[in-house]
Amino acid sequence: MTEPEPKPEPGAPATAAVSDLTGKTVILTGAARGIGAAAARGAVAAGARVVLTDVLEEEGRRTAEALGDRARFVRHDVTSEEEWQRVTDFAAGEFGSVDGLVNNAGISMATFLADVSVEEFRKVLDVNLTGVLIGMKTVIPAMRRAGGGSVVNISSAAGLTGLALTAGYGASKWGVRGLTKIGAVELGTDRIRVNSVHPGMTYTPMTARVGIEPGEGGYPNTPMARVGEPHEIASAVCFLLSDAASYMTGAELAVDGGWTAGPTVRYVMGQ
Ligand SMILES: NC(=O)c1ccc[n+]([C@@H]2O[C@H](COP(=O)([O-])OP(=O)(O)OC[C@H]3O[C@@H](n4cnc5c(N)ncnc54)[C@H](O)[C@@H]3O)[C@@H](O)[C@H]2O)c1
């Protein structure tokens, strides 16, 4: 007697989807350099059409030009509602729809809570948090028209824990994490997924000035003992943009070499 064929699980696809972005249009802020530029390169390589935006006009244009026909650059300050509308209309007009949004633009500051000026605090919140709110608010109608979409908000490991010297920065990144959850619960039935990515220390122009070096052993205070590279954050972004993450919304994805998982072995051993 032959064994009956095992039944496939209900609804099981033949293979899991990979991070394919063919046919999708993505708006990506702060894309002139660093993590944003790496995410733009990753998204174009995965098949997307990308509108890169930044306040750094020359650098942004160069980054977009190097990506060929499926990339455009628009000068854009994320704190301006008017400019957000212009970028959204441009993306829809140029490529036909808006299916993805990566809120990546950000500024950092390193000041103790007791010393931070209210002006500095407000400035960081304006770019890092209000910019994300305006971006989501402006792009949602276009995503609804497209029948759904994916928003990826770049928070930080500093949005998962209390990091010294990040009074304004850390507060803005906790806010981004919160806005992400709110977007997820409000937009689920619109088929708009909203997730946050939380990079640990990553080697970019933002962090190069604090004297970190890439490579094995270069950052002993993290379990993997090294800082991240922009392309390693970009992979997570492309995954969340893609249909491979079709059942993920409201998630917070730490891409931090284990930094928020807990103290290092060296630390525990008192070394
Ligand atoms: N590098 C890290 O270690 C690290 C860690 C955690 C989170 N992040 C986050 O990742 C994102 C990218 O950071 P990065 O390290 O690539 O830094 P970066 O400074 O290299 O890039 C940030 C980009 O945002 C742009 N920008 C700043 N203000 C803007 C504004 N008002 N409007 C539009 N664009 C603006 C900058 O011009 C720049 O090109 C930021 O949100 C940052 O907070 C970085």
Residues 131-160 have a mean pLDDT of: 98
The CATH number of residue 211's host domain is 3.40.50.720
What is the chain's mean pLDDT, rounded?
94
State the pLDDT confidence band at 257, using cuts at 50, 70 and 90. Answer: very high
Ligand 1 midpoint to CA 149 (Å): 23
In a domain, 17, yes or no: no
**Greater model confidence, 18 or 166:** 166
Q: Tell which one of 27, 35, 201 to mutate to probe ligand 1, the residue whose CB is within 8 A of the most ligand atoms.
A: 35
Distance between CA 225 and CA 268 in Å, rounded?
14
Q: For 19-53, how does the pLDDT look when each residue is reduced to its tens digit (9 = 90+)?
A: 899 999 999 999 999 999 999 999 999 999 999 99
Ligand 1 midpoint to CA 266 (Å): 31
The two three-digit tokens of residue 91, written as one number: 């993306």
In a domain, 233, yes or no: yes
In this structure, the dihedral spanned by the alpha carbons of residues 214, 236, 167 and 264, taken in order and rounded to 10 degrees, is -60
In a domain, 80, yes or no: yes
In a domain, 142, yes or no: yes
The count of structural domains within the chain is 1
In a domain, 9, yes or no: no
pLDDT of residue 211: 79
Structural domain including 169 reads: 25-268
Distance between CA 19 and CA 47 in Å, rounded?
9
Distance of CA 3 to the CA centre of its chain: 49
Distance between CA 104 and CA 128 in Å, rounded?
9
For residue 237, which of 16, 30, 35, 23 has the smallest C-alpha distance?
35
CB of 152 shorter than 6 A to ligand 1: no
Provide the 3-class DSSP secondary structure of residue 255: strand
Which amino acid is it at 213? E
State the pLDDT confidence band at 166, using cuts at 50, 70 and 90. Answer: very high
DSSP state of 89: H
Ligand 1 midpoint to CA 126 (Å): 13
In a domain, 14, yes or no: no
Nearest protein CA to atom 19 of ligand 1, as residue = 206
Q: pTM for the whole thing?
A: 0.95
In a domain, 107, yes or no: yes
Residues in the chain: 271
Ligand 1 midpoint to CA 173 (Å): 12
Residues 218-246 have a mean pLDDT of: 96
In a domain, 2, yes or no: no
Q: Are 136 and 103 in contact (CB under 8 A)?
A: yes
Residue positions annotated with a catalytic role: 169
CB of 99 shorter than 6 A to ligand 1: no
State the pLDDT confidence band at 18, using cuts at 50, 70 and 90. Answer: confident
Provide the 3-class DSSP secondary structure of residue 16: coil
Distance between CA 60 and CA 69 in Å, rounded?
15
